[in-house]
Structure 1
Amino acid sequence: MAGLLKALGRKSSDAKSKIDLPLLISTLRSSPSPPNLASLITGIDVLLSPDSKDRKEKLAEIREAMLSTECAAGAEDDASESDPTNVKEPMSVIELCIETLPSLEFESKKSTSQTLLQILTPPPPLPPSFYTLLSTTQNTSPPSCLPLGNLLRHTLTLPQNNTTFLTSPTFLTLTLTTLPISPNFDVLSDVFSTLKTSLNAGTASSFLEEKYESFFDRFEVLLKSDNYVTRRFSLQLLSTVLLSRCNFNVMMRYISSTDSLKITMNLLRDPHTNIQYEAFHVFKVFVVNPRKSPEIIRILKMNQEKLSEFLKGRWEEREGEGNFKEERELVRKTLEEL
């Protein structure tokens, strides 16, 4: 720790002295332990404060160093160097900071994630390992890792990163499967915010087409969840994705599926009015589709009378929202004319 404090150019009580960045990086290379990383972030956070005179220049210097420097995940002795199978894969300083986050105090978590966000502005191209680590860390202790959500969504504003995130090994297994069923509302709100950001980007359309079955098999589990918030957020996300112009092919495939129609119709019968309302915005796409398959028409005709009666005057309190009233009447009319 003494080496790190020297690199930071301060005593532990002197928070405003300058950082010797080259020495700091050298120190990190030799001992990238969690305590060192916590002190690193504390020092950088001071540099990035609004009252720092050379903030812009230092930020650029720190950004370049942290993005270009690789630290060993652990000390490597001579034996490991001679045996490639024992060499630990290098990890960037940024990834080490993320890995350390769960062990920090709450305020330190916020400070760390905010500092990393500033260093990653504008977002540089990031490797799959970054998103795998980020998702794994979030899943390890979801409530304590909420500050990482903003960092994740910020990096996804670069289209290349969004593609990397969607195709990372943990997207389908953690981001879409484990986190959305958390009992914690804040965690659910955060992960669905990330899904909305990622799946509504133009780069998501090719992913959704290529991984259609893998994605929607998992997504339908969320629609059937016992958790009210999960069902509601999932329906909101689904209607947004289906109605996005760049996802036209995905929408047509989805609304041609009888299984998807049945799930949506069951959600129309949900005891919660808000779930019914969100389900309507998916159901309407099935009904007004001018190219309905014979099977879809058959199911709609079988339930024609019940559906039309159900929709009559339904959700009156929402009639002032956008074009809802007109859409509801169009769906009823289309059903009656089948």
Structure 2
Amino acid sequence: MAGILKALGRKSSDDVKAKVSLPTLIASLRADPSPSNLEKLCEGVDVLLSPPSPSPSELETLQNLLLERPAAAAGSPAGEPGPSKGDGEEERSPLEMCVGGMPQLEFEKKKSTCATLLNVLSPPPPLPTSFYTLLTTIQNSNAPSCLPLGNLLRHTLSDPPNASTYLESPTFLTVSIMELPLSPNFDVLSDAFSTLKVSFTSPTSSPYLETNYTPFFTSFTHLLTSSNYVTRRFSLQLLSSVLLSRSNFNVMMRYISSLPSLKQIMNLLRDPHPNIQYESFHVFKVFVVNPRKTKEVEEVLRLNKVKLVKFLEGRWKDREGEGNFKGERELVRKTLEEL
């Protein structure tokens, strides 16, 4: 192919790649973090990723260049910020500079830039906490214009250590739980819940939930009690998935042993929206069928069993064809009657 291109007077892809100097493009972006220089860097990365695809070692070198901070070259550990310089722009890695410059780009450029970053991070290398802190902060302060960042974020979370880093980042509870899922914009909150679902299907989520049980569920309560119908519905779906995950057995037992948690779910069963009631049922059933109920949980269920059994009879008939719902509803009803 290279010979044919030369015969036609055109340069081969190898010739084009050889002329791309990533360090020069990075230096230009640091000197002038303008949208044009950010776009030039991404264009250079695209060229380096073009066929023939880089070898694993070449890709690793490319990733390292984009993840390196200026302080690392001066002797500081790679990936760790150096001494503070103003707003911290100087210490950001080129990857973080691309994320930080996202709000300045037009929407289509945001999409193409995120696509470039996603490609160069395939497979995802280990990423520092600062990357996730910056990304979620940019998402929150510029939503919904920075929605393309959601795909990039979820892609990096496919690596379990990165998922752990994200969960432990300082903006996880304050932004990823307390801000984005409460957005009045449907696209923003839907994207936020997509990220949370990916986060909690990672094998690293169980240790996080066990260690941070109280702060997590304290924050999560704000989602369950939100005035936004979509937020309440999505949060109940997520809660059900978390509790029914085998890896979260200890978390589930702690949650369904809690009387305040039971009362909250029982209140959601009374929500005026049938879909909220239905999603609440899939959490409520775990309290009822638990053979090791705490005394206080069993007492509340026993005192309210007549009302609950009556409430469940024939409820959500339009859902009876979905999975095991009909059988689960009958099991919950019988278990309540036998209390």
Residue aligning to 1:54: 52
Distance 2:140 2:247 in 1: 30
Shift, 1:269, TM fit = 0.8
Shift, 1:19, TM fit = 2.4
Do the aligned partners of residues 86 and 276 (structure 1) sit closer, same or farther apart at CA in structure 2, a change above 3 Å counting?
Answer: closer
Residue aligning to 2:256: 255
Distance 2:163 2:21 in 1: 34
Distance 1:28 1:159 in 2: 31
Distance 1:333 1:188 in 2: 37
Q: Give percent identity, aligned residues only.
A: 63
Shift, 1:199, TM fit = 1.5
Residue aligning to 2:221: 220
Local SS of the residue matching 1:271: coil
Note if 1:65 corresponds to 2:78: no
Distance 1:115 1:296 in 2: 52
Local SS of the residue matching 2:195: helix
Q: TM-score scaled by structure 2?
A: 0.86
Counterpart AA for 2:157: L
Residue aligning to 1:268: 269
Residue aligning to 1:12: none
Shift, 1:86, TM fit = 4.9
Residue aligning to 1:116: 117
Shift, 1:287, TM fit = 0.1
What per-residue deviation string (whole Å, max 9, x for no partner) do you get for residues 220-279 of structure 1? 111011100000000000000000011111100100111110110111111111111000
Do the aligned partners of residues 86 and 180 (structure 1) sit closer, same or farther apart at CA in structure 2, a change above 3 Å counting?
Answer: closer
What per-residue deviation string (whole Å, max 9, x for no partner) do you get for residues 75-115 of structure 1? xxxxxxxxx66575611100000000011101000000000
Residue aligning to 1:161: 162
Note if 1:296 corresponds to 2:297: yes
Contact 2:22 2:44 in 1 (8 A): no
Counterpart AA for 2:311: F
Distance 1:114 1:85 in 2: 30
Local SS of the residue matching 1:56: coil
Shift, 1:65, TM fit = 2.5
Shift, 1:38, TM fit = 2.5
Do the aligned partners of residues 223 and 85 (structure 1) sit closer, same or farther apart at CA in structure 2, a change above 3 Å counting?
Answer: closer
Distance 2:332 2:84 in 1: 63
Distance 2:92 2:84 in 1: 16
Counterpart AA for 1:65: L
Distance 1:323 1:266 in 2: 24
Distance 1:288 1:254 in 2: 14
Shift, 1:146, TM fit = 0.7
Shift, 1:45, TM fit = 3.6
Pairs within 5 Å for 1:1-338 = 19-45=20-46, 48=49, 52-56=50-54, 62-67=62-67, 69-71=68-70, 86=85, 88=88, 90-338=91-339
Distance 1:86 1:46 in 2: 32
Contact 1:255 1:286 in 2 (8 A): yes
Distance 2:220 2:63 in 1: 37
Local SS of the residue matching 1:144: coil
Contact 2:48 2:54 in 1 (8 A): no
Distance 2:306 2:113 in 1: 58
Distance 1:61 1:297 in 2: 59
Point out where structure 1 has 5 or more consecutive residues left out of the alignment. Answer: 1-15, 73-83
Local SS of the residue matching 2:95: helix
Contact 2:85 2:91 in 1 (8 A): no
